[in-house]
Chain A
């Protein structure tokens, strides 16, 4: 206690950090966990008795469908991000160092614009009379406008557009660390390009892949405003379900249960990521 008084600055910082974590992270999450095991109540949102009804409701085929569809769209988003991000990050790490800074800066610039605004901009491009259709029509590539908006594809495009940098940045970091000597050693020992890719490059960049998946897959299930703007009524995300349960259906226990499922999925991915890093000896022994 005395030492705490003797170092006022240190004490202030500790109180701030712990206070923040306790009141703004731990407490709200405990409230969500609490809410998820309560009974729905139209008057006061939640009430006793304690029940697992909300979790049982998650297994309802109707919601299961929404979950699976949401997971599918999020997985597609992640896959597309990975397919674009992996070669992108690889080539980025090969560019001269002074150009890398500029390219990463350009990657981050869009964050300065609100993502909601950017999603509306995407709507203008994808609309039936939008930029893309008009351009294709005037070039004579199509005869009539395509239905792009309010499709699954539109949601995936929107999510990829917003989340791609989150895939590229962790991948760039692992490619940047990938020493040229490992690739040389692999070739030296008789491996061609393909074998080197499979046996050396992929395992060594796996932590970055998992970090990227972590940063894309879960937000992709939660960014409810993207389907709201681009997806129409059929292409819902888990985020939409949670938002609807809290704001429209007033079923807090169910919304909380769905939210906890997302958190658990996140925890699982973080665990896998840690494991993959430990495998190559970057963390702990």
Chain B
């Protein structure tokens, strides 16, 4: 699926915080390359989560989870509901306590520190602004608790409100603000304390689509300006990919994959990640030949295609999954030499792309998403029209077949 030649600065895009050169992002470049420790400033680990385990009513929500959060990064915990992402965030904040394991900030153990003594602040899902206080008092609350001098409080609150462009709203009550404005107050209230880490619990889920996009950009800007580590929880994979330096994909309290958005999208570690992050076509493949140094030949729908050798061991005759994103698929004319025959069953105009569903002759459903090419006369196919489906070699991603998880089946049998 690595459609583009992988350029290191692009792979770690968004990591730029303090760059040595404005032309090249050294921090991002060396971040996931611990072998080259000697080169450039490495980001240090700020928050150590070790062996965290938590059970609710006998159900394991977190299962010996280990995670290191780097100083200044934007890291997203992504997963379906019930995957443990919110519990993990609450543990960092101090609202939940792990049954086992430790949480440390640098060299300081926080496992048993109450939330009021942790240098971390939270932006809550429904903002939790104090309804009886004005915007100013809400933002000032944390500083008042620190017993800061009045003048300092006034100045810092004004700064924080200016940062979220709400200077003129300081006397309003939360219920007099729109959802997006309340969201900004919640952020100002948390960052005014200058926390080491800002924890954001699905902060955009209550906003409508357009406002959500605006706030995504806003949050990225704030994170760059403040240089604070952001830990962001979401179930929205698009949000996770577009905002994060690194994404943690969680399921059933276990980390499925940890990597840059690009790694997670283009090189998913397992079937769950591939299914959860974006749309994917899974083609059944069987290894035909595996004796070459770095390529294998795989039979997909009767086609013999040459693929890069995957990083898991392969033997001849083994079946595996060939993953192709809808945008990797090419829809060709039925007379083309290449490709597998099928017919178009659905066409969806999406503005910038044309999405189609194609049924292959063996019944496999293929999703394809193509950018408009006005010069291509064959581009627009009618419903029911026979076509051929192909892709560019090298854009595929291979995963071993996994034993089906028994949990879903067992539930219905019992």
Interface residues of A (CB under 8 A from B): 179, 181-182, 184-192, 195, 199-200, 203-204, 279-282, 285
Contacts and interface: CB of A to CB of B under 8 A. Distances in A.
A189 B121 contact: yes
Contacts of B174: 281
Central interface residue in A188, A200, A281, A285, by most chain B CB within 10 Å: A188
Given A181-B124, A184-B95, A185-B124, A285 B141 contact: no
B115 interface: yes
Interface string B164-197: 0000000001111000000000000110010000
A119 B209 CA distance: 62
Nearest to B131: A280
B115 A187 contact: yes
Given A189-B193, A190-B145, A281-B174, A204 B128 contact: no
B176 A285 contact: yes
A209 to B, nearest CB: 13
B193 A190 contact: yes
B412 to A, nearest CB: 29
B145 A191 contact: yes
B80 interface: no
Contacts of A285: 175-176
> Size class of B's contact patch?
20 to 34
A179 B126 CA distance: 10
Nearest to B95: A184
Contacts of B93: 184, 188
Contacts of A179: 126, 128
B124 A187 contact: no
Contact of B122 (A184, A200, A279): A184
B8 interface: no
Q: SS class of chain A's interface: helix, strand, loop or mixed? A: helix
A271 B115 CA distance: 38
B337 interface: no
B395 interface: no
A184 B124 contact: yes
A190 B132 contact: no
Contacts of B142: 189-190
A185 B128 contact: yes
The 8 closest A-B CB pairs, nearest first, are A281-B175, A189-B142, A181-B128, A190-B145, A185-B128, A280-B132, A187-B115, A280-B131
A189 B126 contact: no
A190 B115 CA distance: 7
Nearest to A276: B132
A204 B145 contact: no
B141 A199 contact: yes
A200 B369 CA distance: 52
A182 B133 CA distance: 12
B141 A186 contact: yes
30 contacts: A179-B126, A179-B128, A181-B125, A181-B128, A182-B130, A184-B115, A184-B122, A185-B124, A185-B128, A185-B130, A187-B94, A187-B95, A187-B116, A188-B94, A188-B95, A188-B115, A188-B121, A189-B141, A189-B142, A190-B116, A190-B117, A190-B145, A190-B193, A192-B116, A200-B130, A203-B132, A204-B132, A281-B132, A281-B173, A281-B174
Contacts of B132: 203-204, 279-281
B114 interface: yes
A249 B260 CA distance: 89
